[in-house]
């Protein structure tokens, strides 16, 4: 599961001296993570797993939600894995509904480059840093997507439109998992409660 989620993490070296900023602070600096102000994207998970995923964002991507539920068989036993993350600028909150706790990490890779690159250039730089190779453009949901491929990685293929992944193929152990956007709604101003951690959740020590 950890490797499967690299499409969101897009790991690059940490900026240890950077000052983490919230979505509001980055918005005040007129920085953008995506060129689209707000959207909701629904995904279907298929291949060697079944499930659904929702991505919603506001403030040009600085405030976002990602929820994913995926079911697959492991040694004949059905296993379910869930992801619930809220991102506020450089802060990423991972919530665990099972015990009502959350953890925090900081991710600077977008904001550190957004001050001197446009959103598409930042996305491209991150994908190149992952070892991605650009392939032909293909259309999905009437969106012109740049296809990226990766050799020897958990992530095998990404279809990217305006910095947003609309299709991905990834290996989870010996399983091939495909995640495909089924619906995109842009400029909808998602409900702010989507980006709010419930009051009864406690931070992990």
- 18 pLDDT band, cuts 50/70/90, is low
Residue 177 makes CB contacts below 8 A (sequence gap 6+) with 4, 45, 46, 47, 48, 49, 70, 169, 170, 171
pLDDT tens digits along 121-130 = 999 999 999 9
pLDDT tens digits along 26-73 = 999 999 999 999 999 999 999 999 999 999 999 999 999 999 999 998
Domain positions in the chain are 37-199
Please give the class, per CATH, of domain 37-199. Answer: mainly beta
């Amino acid at each position: 599961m950890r490797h499967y989620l690299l499409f969101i993490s897009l790991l690059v070296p940490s900026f240890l001296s950077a000052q983490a900023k919230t979505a509001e602070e980055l918005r005040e600096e007129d920085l953008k993570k995506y060129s689209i102000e707000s959207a909701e994207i629904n995904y279907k998970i298929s291949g060697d797993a079944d499930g659904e995923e929702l991505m919603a964002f506001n403030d040009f991507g600085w405030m976002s939600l990602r929820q994913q539920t995926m079911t697959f068989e492991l040694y004949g036993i059905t296993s379910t894995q869930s992801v619930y993350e809220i991102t506020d600028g450089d802060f990423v909150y991972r919530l665990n509904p099972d015990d009502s706790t959350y953890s925090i990490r900081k991710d600077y890779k977008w904001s550190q480059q957004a001050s001197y690159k446009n959103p598409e250039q930042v996305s491209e730089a991150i994908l190149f840093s992952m070892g991605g190779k650009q392939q032909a453009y293909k259309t999905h949901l009437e969106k012109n997507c740049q296809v990226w491929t990766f050799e020897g990685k958990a992530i095998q293929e990404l279809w990217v439109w305006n910095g947003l992944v609309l299709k991905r193929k990834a290996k989870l152990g010996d399983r091939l998992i495909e995640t495909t956007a089924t619906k995109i709604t842009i400029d909808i101003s998602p409900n702010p409660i989507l980006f709010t951690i419930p009051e009864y959740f406690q931070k992990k020590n």
